[in-house]
Structure 1
Amino acid sequence: MGEQLWQTRWNTVLDNVQVVNDPADEQRLLAALSTPERATVLGFVNAHALNLVAGDGEFCRTLAAADVLLRDGSGMAILYRRIGLAPGLNMNGTDFIPRLLARYKGRRVAFWGTQEPALSAAAARSEALWGVKPVSLHDGFAEVDTYLALAQALQPELIVLGMGMPKQEAVAARLAASGVPCLIVCGGAILDFLGGKVARAPGWLRRLGGEWVFRLVKEPRRLFMRYVVGNPMFLLRTGMFSPRPAPGGEDKRRGNSQNRRHR
């Protein structure tokens, strides 16, 4: 792939990432996401996402089209500092999605992704901890039309997708286009975490930005390409990356969720 193409794709995604500056900014975002007026897609951008974007134009378009994109992980913080921008808070989905679930207490939630028994365990834990009402559970291996039919029939107010990239982003885009008025969250491994299939790293290691090391030790075969190969590739591209000014005057990459549109 030509150098210009992957840089263009990175810029396309970064133009749409919302930096959350502080806890007050996060609370405003939570409030907005808990009262969507139309189908709204929430996605997360980490080093793995940008590695996939570099080689996949369709995924680039789908990811960049999300209504809200948040910076996730220490790799993205390195990238932001490299291009002279403050990275803001680390809005990783594993921590942010539970805060969002708490905002949906008493409301209809669908959990689609992973497989049993982690799926049922994740739904039961979410119901117990945050008072949501699970209305649909389905593994993450069905055709897109299956999820579209479930959404139309059950009308959930929140859909949590735990299918991994790039499938969950493609499913989210189709769900949003179907017009079901709900929040659709691209949650990666969130259902595995909530369901107890995957353990979190100790707090001190998470604070140092090293949760990926813990996950690699736990699942070396599955995560070898993502971390052992992917992380150096991401850092190499970070060193070569040339950002362009974001469109619309003030650079959205500098933050301020008040200026981010919630379509």
Structure 2
Amino acid sequence: MRMPNPREVLELIERMRCISNDGERRALIDYLGAVDRPTVLSFLNAHGLNVCMGSDAALAAFASSDVLLRDGIGLQAVLPVLGRPAGLNMNGTDFIPLLLKSLAPRSVAIYGTATPWLDRARVVLEAATPHRYADLQHGFHPTEHYIAQARATRPDVILLAMGMPKQEEVATELKRALDHPVLIVNGGAIVDFLAGRFKRAPEAVQRSGLEWAFRLAQEPRRLFRRYCIGAFGFAWSTIRLRRAASLRTRGSGAAAPASTRISPRISQSTIRRSPIQKEL
């Protein structure tokens, strides 16, 4: 397996969409609600960055995303170091429920996690959103199964809940295989949160940027490697990316590229919790 060059990961980071205010967030929701082809929405957090730094296949899967958003405080700290704006924390746990609540009625398929969490999440979503959730598939099928299901049912939205990088790889294959307008959302643990399998941190903890610690306390065996050992990998990744950015800037004799969406002063506040999350 080829290890990506840091410059390639830097290019992925530079493709992230910076959302700096409520108006830009609203415009993004409007765009995602009017896609005319298979379109992939993904979220990049510190763990995702580590995955991309270590796997060419994972990097390619993330790079196939049409919209890539910043998720979490790890990237919030790194982006300014790389000359990029951090913008709002567009974490999927908050943004995906907001997106689903904001869209006009659609047919939604959920591929991922396991029963009974799929059924419990559907009950919550049907009560809080106007959509029809007709196709629920656990997250342990081969990719071909999800492609066949999506071709047969032709949903307007596909919510993937398989974890990184499997869901991004499945999303890439769905995007290639489908021929109808569909929004494919890489949701990670969102279905488990909605189903009540895992609890969200108290809002004060979320605002402090320590939700990762709350999650680690709930799932220490599964998340220790990601959050504790992964922190060292993330620090090393940051050093390598900063070096790559510096070398490129010196080589070109130009300043680091500016974001396509930079406001004079980027707010560091996070998205307010959606009504769906407040019900849990």
Flag whether TM exceeds 0.5 (same fold).
Answer: yes
Once structures 1 and 2 are overlaid, which stretch shifts more, 229-238 or 180-189? 229-238
Q: Which residue identity is paired with 1:156?
A: P
Counterpart residue type for residue 181 of structure 2: P
CA contact (8 A) 2:113 2:191 kept: yes
- RMSD of aligned residue pairs (Cα, Å): 2.1
Mind listing any 5+ residue stretches in structure 2 that lack a counterpart?
A: 250-254, 264-280
Counterparts of 1:82-121 in structure 2 under 5 Å? 82-121=81-120
Match of 1:141?
140
Aligned to 1:32: 31
Instruction: State yes or no: 1:204 paired with 2:204.
Output: yes
For residues 34-77 of structure 1, the C-alpha deviation after alignment (integer angstroms, 9 at most, x for no partner) is: 11111100001110011011110011011011000001000000
Match of 2:276 in 1: none
The equivalent of 2:224 in structure 1 is 224
Deviations 1:105-159 (A, max 9, x none): 4210001110011111111111110121102001011001110111111110000
Secondary structure of 2:86 counterpart: coil
Distance 2:21 2:236 in 1: 29
Alignment of 1:183-194 (within 5 A): 183-194=183-194
* 8 Å CA contact retained: 1:9, 1:53: no
Please tell me whether the aligned partners of residues 88 and 255 of structure 1 are also in contact (alpha carbons under 8 angstroms).
no
2:261 counterpart of 1:255: yes
Match of 1:214 in 2: 214
**1:9 positional shift:** 3.2
User: Partner amino acid for 2:105?
Assistant: G
Deviation at 1:85, TM superposition (A): 2.8
The secondary structure found in structure 2 opposite 1:31 is helix
Amino acid at match of 1:194: L
Shift of 1:5: 4.3
TM-score (norm 2): 0.85
Quick one: distance in 1 between partners of 2:156 and 2:22? 25
Question: In 1, Cα distance between the equivalents of 2:114 and 2:27?
Answer: 33
TM-score calculated relative to the size of structure 1: 0.90
- The 5 Å alignment of 1:229-244 reads 229-242=229-242, 243=245, 244=248
- Partner SS for 2:133: strand
Q: CA deviation at 1:82?
A: 1.6
Once residues 113 and 85 of structure 2 are traced to their aligned partners in structure 1, the CA distance between those partners, rounded to angstroms, is: 34
Assess if the C-alpha contact under 8 Å between 1:6 and 1:55 holds in 2: no
Deviation at 1:235, TM superposition (A): 2.1
SS of residue matched to 1:136: strand
- Structure 1: runs of 5 or more not aligned: 258-263
Deviating more after overlay: 155-164 vs 13-22: 13-22
Post-superposition offset of 1:250: 9.3
Q: What aligned pairs does 1:52-131 form with structure 2 within 5 A after superposition?
A: 52-131=51-130
**Cα distance change on mapping 1:42 and 1:59 into 2, 3 Å:** same
Task: Look up the match of 1:260.
Answer: none
- In 2, Cα distance between equivalents of 1:252 and 1:36: 26
Contact map agreement 1:14 1:253 (CA 8 A) in 2 = no
